[in-house]
């Protein structure tokens, strides 16, 4: 025998929450997908489509984060006009970010493996309305490359620094600039660095002040915080 779950009512409630957060905090909705079943994700996306079709106002941008291929397909089926940033496991609906305002957010990381999380942070900041830039080739094992990018980094209103393994890059960056640094540990690593816990500890222990740490692989949270920080700063070039 199969019982019916009271899913309809619950999903409505979930959407109520997100809509409210958008109004209250001036930020886009966010749906964390990997803790939900494909069916749950599909239902949420369909509810947005239904609300939109019904002429609902206040439907600001919605970000679907940590979406694998199956969940992304379910979302695109319900919201075909969403933009799928596959490298960041993120979908945005509607596709176009708002016009940029406020100071520039730079996302920095050391290389290839940290790119998905760094891109999630960049896109989040962009969809929250900031101008963004990605610098992906600086690592503390090769200081010259970091040093050559310092002029750029010093123009940012906020720098998100993503790092796995030893997680030491945010400290080095924060010691060289006057803007706040959002430290974003990634789960890139193995052995004692597995899961990103060593990187998170390093970042919380940083000798340099001016660093706020977010959860491991929480690119959305890092980009969100950076966008809030850069909100009042002068636009690049001003």
**Site map 107..146 versus its own copies, x via CB under 8 A:** ---xxxx-x---x--------------x-xx-xxxxxxx-
Give CA–CA dist 31/163, Å, rounded. 24
Instruction: State the nearest-atom distance from the C-beta of 90 to its own copies, in Å.
Output: 10
CA proximity to 62, closest of 36, 34, 32, 102: 32
Give CA–CA dist 49/172, Å, rounded. 45
Assigned token pair, 101: 């305002």
Whichever of 13 and 55 has its CB closer to its own copies, that residue is 13
Q: How many Å separate Cα 28 from the centre of its chain?
A: 12
**Looking at 29, 40, 121, 153, which residue binds its own copies (CB under 8 A)?**
40
CA proximity to 74, closest of 103, 97, 43, 47: 43
**Looking at 74, 75, 78, 213, which residue binds its own copies (CB under 8 A)?**
213
Whichever of 55 and 188 has its CB closer to its own copies, that residue is 188
Give CA–CA dist 236/224, Å, rounded. 19
Q: C-alpha dihedral over 130, 135, 139, 144, to 10 degrees?
A: -120
Whichever of 55 and 186 has its CB closer to its own copies, that residue is 186
Q: How many Å separate Cα 51 from the centre of its chain?
A: 25
Residue 51 in the binding site for its own copies (CB under 8 A): no
**Looking at 73, 155, 176, 235, which residue binds its own copies (CB under 8 A)?**
176
Instruction: State the nearest-atom distance from the C-beta of 46 to its own copies, in Å.
Output: 14
Residue 42 in the binding site for its own copies (CB under 8 A): no
Three-state SS for 140? Answer: coil
**Looking at 74, 78, 153, 157, which residue binds its own copies (CB under 8 A)?**
157
**Looking at 152, 155, 166, 235, which residue binds its own copies (CB under 8 A)?**
166
Q: Are 91 and 84 contacting, i.e. CB atoms less than 8 angstroms apart?
A: yes
**Site map 57..96 versus its own copies, x via CB under 8 A:** ---------x--------------xxxxxxx-------x-
Bridge partners of residue 160, in order along the sequence: 107, 182
Whichever of 49 and 66 has its CB closer to its own copies, that residue is 66
Whichever of 56 and 173 has its CB closer to its own copies, that residue is 173
């Amino acid at each position: 025998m199969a019982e019916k779950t009271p899913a309809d009512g619950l999903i409505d409630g979930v959407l109520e929450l997100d809509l409210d957060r958008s109004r209250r905090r001036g930020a886009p909705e966010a749906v964390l997908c990997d803790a939900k079943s494909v069916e749950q994700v599909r239902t949420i996306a369909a509810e947005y489509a239904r609300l939109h079709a019904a002429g609902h106002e206040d439907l600001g941008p919605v970000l679907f984060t940590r979406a694998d291929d199956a969940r992304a397909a379910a979302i695109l089926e319900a919201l075909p006009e969403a933009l799928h940033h596959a490298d960041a496991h993120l979908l945005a609906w509607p596709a176009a970010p708002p016009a940029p305002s406020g100071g520039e957010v730079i996302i920095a990381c050391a290389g290839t493996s940290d790119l998905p999380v760094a891109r999630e942070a960049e896109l989040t900041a962009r969809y929250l309305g900031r101008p963004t830039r990605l610098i992906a080739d600086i690592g503390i094992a090769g200081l010259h490359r970091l040093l050559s990018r310092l002029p750029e980094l010093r123009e940012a209103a906020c720098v998100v620094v993503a790092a796995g393994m030893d997680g030491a890059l945010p400290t080095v960056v924060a010691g060289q600039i006057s803007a706040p640094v959002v430290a974003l540990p990634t789960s890139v690593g193995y052995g004692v660095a597995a899961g990103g816990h060593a990187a998170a500890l390093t970042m919380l222990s940083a000798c340099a002040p001016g660093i706020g740490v977010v959860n491991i692989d929480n690119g959305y949270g890092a980009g969100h915080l950076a966008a809030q920080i850069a909100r009042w700063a002068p636009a690049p070039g001003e």
